[in-house]
Amino acid sequence: MVGDGAGSGGRRQHGARDVLVYTRTGCMFCKQVEDMLSEASIVFRSKLVEERDEQERLCERYGALSFPLVLAGSRYVGGFTYVVRLHLDGRLGLLASDDPGATAAPLGSERPVSRPRAGGLSGYAALGAYLKNKDKE
């Protein structure tokens, strides 16, 4: 199932690249990513992946450990924690930017945080900060 994200209005803006969010049923992180993108007025499409085999195939293809999977253009950029980090850094709009100068450093130099690495608790710190700020609103 492919549908426009809640904040998309169904149209891709000139100078913006496609943002695609692969989701699965019952995934609270998927919903939160969609909410963050909508709140930031980022045009995106969501694709619900219901079959377990297809979910596993997508995770293997992109090197992801869990859902959601966020693609900017045709490039996998990360999942929930990565989107939260971009949001906290005020760089969430870079996901949809077609400007190579604007996206090269943030998206080109950072690995998606859904992959295992040393100091993996940094993702939880970003999540905690996001949720704390969300409660203040």
- DSSP secondary structure string, 80-113? HHHHHHHHHTT-GGGGGB--HHHHHHHHHHSPPT
Any idea which residue has 């690495």 for tokens? 117
Per-residue pLDDT reduced to its tens digit, 41-71: 999 999 999 999 999 999 999 999 999 999 9
Q: If 0-12 CB within 10 Å is exposed, 13-18 middle and 19+ buried, where does residue 45 land?
A: middle
* CA dihedral angle for residue 57, residue 61, residue 62, residue 66, rounded to 10 degrees: 20
C-alpha pair distances (Å), 13 with each of 9, 44, 98: 10, 10, 10
Query: What distance in Å separates the CA atoms of residue 133 and residue 90, rounded to the nearest whole number?
Result: 13
Give the position of tokens 């609270």.
28
Nearest Cα residue to 69 out of 50, 49, 53: 49
Q: Which domains does the chain have, with CATH numbers?
A: 2-136 (3.40.30.10)
- pLDDT tens for 24-38 read 999 999 999 999 999
Q: What is the pLDDT of residue 104?
A: 27
3-class SS of residue 37 = helix
Residue 12 has pLDDT above 70, yes or no: no
Q: What is the pTM of this model?
A: 0.68
